[in-house]
Amino acid sequence: MFNSYKFRIYPTAEQEVLINKTFGCTRFVFNHSLELKKEAYANDQKVPTKIDLINLLPSLKKEYLWLKEVDSTALQAVNVDLDDAYKRFFKKQNKFPCFKAKHSSRKSYRSVNNNNSIRLAKNKIRLPKLGFIKARIHRKVKGTIQSATISQTPTGKYYVSVLTKNVQFKSLEPNENQVGLDLGLNHFLISSTGKKIANPKFLKNPLEKLAFEQRALSRKKRFSKNWHKQKEKISKLHEKIKNQRKDFLHKLSRSLIENNDLIVVETLKVANMLKNNKLSQAISDVSWSKFVEFLTYKAKRFERKLIKIDQWFPSSKTCNNCQHKLKNLKLNIRRWKCPECGASHDRDINAAKNILVEGKRMLALT
């Protein structure tokens, strides 16, 4: 099994220059290779594969000598990643790869571990071309190191994400607990046990401050020194919100995985829901997709069962007591009484109970 470990690194001034050079070189190779693929496809010629593109690198280095200054495995990895993204587009798994902009806030490159070129020591990590870099190693790295991805945040911080394989995780003891989860906006999560987890709304509180800082940015000359200072202030606010949200989702998903053998959730089409202009900001802030993603990989890692039911399953409109289904139930109705058996329902708790029942039914069929 694969696993990744992310650490903050503190490069020296020289190492920082080389890292930024590598960002630029990998961006150049990516754009160059993408142009070759697009031209070949437009002219009905054979589209170059990742091997073809990697074999072009030596001649490209002769033409552009500055490509020799950076890690060669990073340039090769760019072509591997581009080829993968290109194939995924034709499988309808993602959008067509686009050219990388010079001033993009997303800066990263991946180095491959060849001949133990990537290794960890106490409070430092060795990376190709860079040598040992000071790092905050806060976790023990298990498994064989495959690669390391070096990235820079919009606030100027540097991180390295180490990918390892053959990682063995300690299995959790079975507890026979089962839970259905209904995700919402008023409450982030409602479980079939009746527990409600409040929506933290990390974006709502600093929204006014963000708007103020954005207006201040709009008044400054683009790319001036003060413009960059103001942009960094805004980036720090966004980074804090992102870290708070991620911390909340990790802790909640881990708690659910540890305490339940079976977890059942709805399949949500978040992309379609974001088309609602009135709710799009709240839906983005709550980050349901990321939460389900965390649940998915943690369930696989610790051998728990995670069931995703059909998005059209009428969990809210069905009585969990007698299975009577209402023809219509408006969104503003939070409590309702079953006309068949007379049971009174909290809309969200009732939905969570029905989700669990449906999940157990699907599990029995497998």
Q: Residue 168's pLDDT band (boundaries 50, 70, 90)?
A: confident
**CB hemisphere CA count around 275 (13 angstroms):** 4
Q: Which of 311, 309, 318 is nearest to 341 (CA)?
A: 318
Quickly count helices (H) and strands (E) in the chain. 10, 14
182 annotated active-site: yes
**3-class secondary-structure state, position 352:** helix
Q: Are residues 283 and 186 located together in one domain of the fold? A: yes
For residue 113, being part of any structural domain is answered with: yes
Give bridge partners of residue 5 from the DSSP assignment: 162
Residue type, 240: K
**Per-residue model confidence as pLDDT tens digits over 63-90:** 999 999 999 999 999 999 999 999 999 9
Domain housing 212: 178-365
Instruction: Give me the catalytic one of 182, 247, 310, 340.
Output: 182
Of the three residues 165, 197, 221, the one that is the final residue of a domain is 165
CA distance 93 to 87: 9
pLDDT tens column, 287-329 = 999 999 999 999 999 999 999 999 999 999 999 999 999 989 9
Instruction: Please tell me whether residues 149 and 199 are part of one structural domain.
Output: no
pLDDT tens, residue by residue, 172-206: 999 989 999 999 999 999 999 999 999 999 998 89
pLDDT at 272: 87
Q: Do 57 and 64 form a contact (C-beta atoms < 8 A)?
A: no
Q: Is 239 a catalytic residue?
A: no
Same domain, 24 and 145: yes
Q: Could you tell me the pLDDT band of residue 1, with boundaries at 50, 70 and 90?
A: confident
211, burial (CB in 10 Å: exposed 0-12, middle 13-18, buried 19+): exposed
Are residues 249 and 143 part of one domain?
no
Classify residue 173: in a domain, yes or no: no
pLDDT in tens, 30-51: 999 999 999 999 999 999 999 9
Catalytically annotated residue among 71, 83, 266, 358: 266
In terms of domains, do 36 and 135 share one?
Answer: yes
Q: How far apart are CA 195 and CA 32, in angstroms?
A: 54
**266 flagged as catalytic:** yes
Mean pLDDT of the chain: 95
**Whether residues 304 and 226 fall in one domain:** yes
Put simply, whether the predicted model's pTM sits higher than 0.85 gets the answer yes
**Do 60 and 192 fall into the same domain?**
no
Is 171 a member of any domain?
no
136 and 184 in a single domain? The answer is no
| pLDDT single digits (tens) 208-252 | 999 999 999 999 999 999 999 999 999 999 999 999 999 999 999
* Cα 72 from chain centre: 27
Cross-sheet strand order for the sheet of 187-191: 196-198, 187-191, 178-183, 262-266, 305-309
In this prediction, residues 249-270 reach a mean pLDDT of 95
> Is residue 145 located within the same domain as residue 205?
no
Total domains in the chain come to: 2
Please indicate whether residue 168 or residue 240 has the higher confidence score (pLDDT). Answer: 240
Tokens 């809309």 found at: 347
Question: Are 329 and 249 contained in the same domain?
Answer: yes
Name the active-site residue from 39, 258, 310, 348: 348
Residue bearing tokens 């509180």:
205
**pLDDT-based confidence at residue 366 (cuts at 50, 70, 90):** confident
